[in-house]
Amino acid sequence: MDYTEKVMDHFMNPRNVGKIENADAIAEVGNASCGDVIKMYLKIQGETIEDIKFQTFGCGAAIAVSSQTTEMVKGKTLREALDLTRDQVAEELGGLPPIKMHCSNLAADALHQAVKTYMKDHGIAER
Amino acid sequence: MERIYLDYNATTPVRAEVRDAVLPFLNDLFGNPSSRHLEGRQVKTKIEAARAQVATAIGAEPERIVFNAGATEGNVTILRGYQVNYKEKKGRDHIIISAVEHPCIYDTAKKMAGEGYAVTFVPVDGEGNIDLDGLKKAITERTGLISVMAVNNETGVIYPVKEIAKIAREKGILFHTDAAQAIGKMPFDVKDIDADFVTMSAHKFYAPKGIGALYIKKGKRLDPLLTGGHQEANRRAGTENVVGMIAMGRALELATGELATDRERIGKIRDEFERRILAEVPHSRRNGGADNRLYTTSNISFRFVEGEAVQLKLDHFGIAVSTGSACSSGTLDPSHVVMAMCNGDEETAHSSIRFSFGKYSKMEEIGYVVDRVKEVVAQLRSFSPLYDKFLSSQGK
């Protein structure tokens, strides 16, 4: 299975790339030896994700999934972000080659890790 | 936009002379070479002429050439054939291969290791050169077969097959070389090397895919993989791939006559490309020693970026290359070849790009390619967490 047009669009023109200085939450998942590292930076206002940016070392799918994930949660609440699954991201991209599903797993993982850490540190209940 | 194809180690286009040579066999000359009537006899004569062309190019007698479907079939035939025939050589259940063989050898040998064979994978150094002392030390009384490729497909590193054949000969061990990347691109003489078995693949030298050949030294027995037909002197059953055979013979004849001019012209382009890339792209590293390499290949790792991403972007800019990254391979493992050369450093393997040049490469294309590589690598680094970390560690 090839990459969909939407995957290619996010890969060629990734949204929300880079770092956020003084981010409220940061998480990094993956490692270079497995070929994918995704780092998420979040700016949080109250319980809302005001801004989100990412840095990714990885294949086309890993970059597209990172970009898509940031688009899907920007402006959403922390709990909504926790509800986002890797399958939803893949679906929004029009599907991913089966072997690439591990890449999309990472972007949601990075997001969830950042959000959970923030909620714990700020005494916000996950549910 | 005009495409720039830099993946000649993967495959080559069929050249016009070869296409012309096979056209009659797609028209009137359709007979089955096994048939005794005129239609069959006409074609039989022509495939025997093609066999002679292949044999002449590698210094062999025509009857030592067995046509097949390509290098994968050839290589698997050697390993599996050896497995069947080794009973004759009692106790010889140990084989030695290099750590950088093509997957059709590497993975088949791994399977054999799971089937009760002892398999030694001889390592290579940082420049991709094989550890000859290690190879010698690996030899035991049970060793029956050594298989080392002539030229590595990913790096272009050339292996000392003549020397290895001599080591094998002295110990009464069979020697096989996968010469898919060598034949048609550099002088290759089976008698000079003194190999027992040699694998060839025609689509690497401007013939179609799906045709290749094995050289089997006189007196060496090898059970066929495909049985149930007398074709290829009972060494490979199945109606002949006539078009493929004609094409392979003609293509190899042409390639052999052009070895010196190709080496000169294509080598200059590769060298200029590599000089510029290494000079102009920071944190780039060549995989494979500078000297002991085929003139067609340049394998470069671009630190902090992933190979498939580089490949996809270059493709968008009209440039076709390949990568040792796991992410483009259909598996999750990065190139075992590049890994073997950098002490198992997976990041380097994930970041490797292979540029391979050929007959239709032009010096004028190099500037565009170098510019696009610089642009793509810089862009991917701009949001690479690994690059960011590196810059921070440098205090930038």
DSSP B158-170: BP-HHHHHHHHHH
Which residues between 129 and 158 in chain B have a beta carbon less than 8 angstroms from any beta carbon of chain A? none
> Is residue B271 domain-shared with residue B230, that is, in the same domain?
no
Cβ of B309 under 8 Å from any chain A Cβ? Answer: yes
Q: Is residue A41 part of a domain?
A: yes
Q: Is residue B11 part of a domain?
A: no
pLDDT digits (tens, 9 = 90+) for B97-133: 999 999 999 999 999 999 888 999 999 998 999 999 9
pLDDT of B343 reads 66
Closest residue of chain B to A56, computed from CA coordinates: B384
Per-residue pLDDT band at B85 (split at 50, 70, 90): confident
Q: Which residues of A touch B323 (CB under 8 A)?
A: none
Q: Is the pLDDT of residue B53 over 80?
A: yes
Q: Which residues of B touch A17 (CB under 8 A)?
A: 382-383
> Is residue B113 domain-shared with residue B195, that is, in the same domain?
yes
pLDDT digits (tens, 9 = 90+) for B140-191: 999 999 999 999 999 999 999 999 999 999 999 999 999 999 999 999 999 9
Q: Tell how strand B143-147 and strand B94-98 pair up.
A: parallel
DSSP state of B141: T
pLDDT of B149 reads 97
pLDDT of A118 reads 96
Question: CB within 8 A of A36, min separation 6: which ones?
Answer: A30, A56, A57, A58, A59, A62, A102, A103, A106, B306
Q: Which residues of B touch A34 (CB under 8 A)?
A: 326, 332, 346
Q: Contact A62/B306, CB-based, under 8 Å?
A: yes
> Is residue B142 domain-shared with residue B214, that is, in the same domain?
yes
Say if CB A72 and CB B319 are below 8 A apart.
no
Q: Tell how strand B197-201 and strand B212-216 pair up.
A: antiparallel
> Is residue B57 domain-shared with residue B198, that is, in the same domain?
yes
pLDDT of B177 reads 98
Which of B257, B290, B324 is the endpoint of a domain?
Answer: B257
Per-residue pLDDT band at B336 (split at 50, 70, 90): confident
Q: Contact A19/B309, CB-based, under 8 Å?
A: no
Q: Which residue has the tokens 């996968």?
A: B178
Least confident of A61-75, B33-47, B323-337, B381-395: B323-337
Cα B58-B64-B68 angle, rounded to 5 deg? 90
Give the nearest partner residue to A59 out of B309, B316, B386, using CB atoms: B309
Q: Is residue A125 part of a domain?
A: no
Domain CATH number, residue A94: 3.90.1010.10
Exposure string of B201-219, with b = 16+ CB inside 10 Å and e = fewer, is bbbbbbbbebbbbbbbbee
Q: Is residue A126 part of a domain?
A: no
Q: Is residue B148 part of a domain?
A: yes
Which residues between 15 and 54 in chain A have a beta carbon less than 8 angstroms from any beta carbon of chain B? 17-19, 28, 32-39, 54
What's the CA gap between B350 and B40, in Å, rounded? 51
Q: Is residue B6 part of a domain?
A: no
Q: Contact B346/A99, CB-based, under 8 Å?
A: no
pLDDT of B174 reads 95
Cβ of A89 under 8 Å from any chain B Cβ? Answer: no
Cα B227-B231-B233 angle, rounded to 5 deg? 95
> Is residue B267 domain-shared with residue B235, that is, in the same domain?
no
> Is residue B89 domain-shared with residue B128, that is, in the same domain?
yes
Residues above pLDDT 90, as percent of chain B: 84
The per-residue DSSP string of B350-388 comes to HTEEEEE--TT--GGGHHHHHHHHHHHHHHHHTT-HHHH
> Is residue B240 domain-shared with residue B285, that is, in the same domain?
no
Q: Which residues of B touch A59 (CB under 8 A)?
A: 306, 308-309, 325, 327-328
pLDDT of B105 reads 94
pLDDT digits (tens, 9 = 90+) for B177-236: 999 999 999 999 999 999 999 999 999 999 999 999 999 999 998 888 899 999 999 999
Q: Is residue A96 part of a domain?
A: yes
Q: Is residue A91 part of a domain?
A: yes
User: Which structural domain range is residue B306 located in?
Assistant: 259-387
Give chain B's mean pLDDT. Answer: 94
Cβ of B377 under 8 Å from any chain A Cβ? Answer: no
Which amino acids of B are annotated catalytic? 327
Which of B228, B257, B286 is the endpoint of a domain?
Answer: B257
> Is residue B250 domain-shared with residue B307, that is, in the same domain?
no
Domain count, chain A: 1
Closest residue of chain A to B344, computed from CA coordinates: A33
pLDDT of B328 reads 57
Mean pLDDT across the stretch B322-341? 71
What's the CA gap between B390 and B333, in Å, rounded? 25
Q: What is the largest CA-CA distance in chain A?
A: 44
Q: Is residue B393 part of a domain?
A: no
What's the CA gap between B198 and B255, in Å, rounded? 18
User: Which structural domain range is residue A35 located in?
Assistant: 5-120
pLDDT digits (tens, 9 = 90+) for B276-330: 999 999 999 999 998 999 999 999 999 999 999 999 999 999 999 998 775 655 5
> Is residue B142 domain-shared with residue B237, that is, in the same domain?
yes
Per-residue pLDDT of chain A (127 residues; tens, 9 = 90+): 689 999 999 999 999 999 999 999 999 999 877 788 999 999 999 999 999 999 999 999 999 999 999 999 999 999 999 999 999 999 999 999 888 886 657 899 999 999 999 999 999 988 7
Give the nearest partner residue to A57 out of B328, B330, B385, using CB atoms: B385
Q: Contact B350/A11, CB-based, under 8 Å?
A: no
> Is residue B51 domain-shared with residue B169, that is, in the same domain?
yes
Mean pLDDT across the stretch B271-280? 98
Q: Contact A11/B334, CB-based, under 8 Å?
A: no
pLDDT of B89 reads 59
Domain count, chain B: 2
Domain CATH number, residue B120: 3.40.640.10
> Is residue B248 domain-shared with residue B145, that is, in the same domain?
yes
Which of B241, B257, B273 is the endpoint of a domain?
Answer: B257
Nearest to residue B336, comparing CAs of B328, B327, B346, B322? B346
| Backbone φ, ψ for residue A40 (5° rounding) | -110, 140
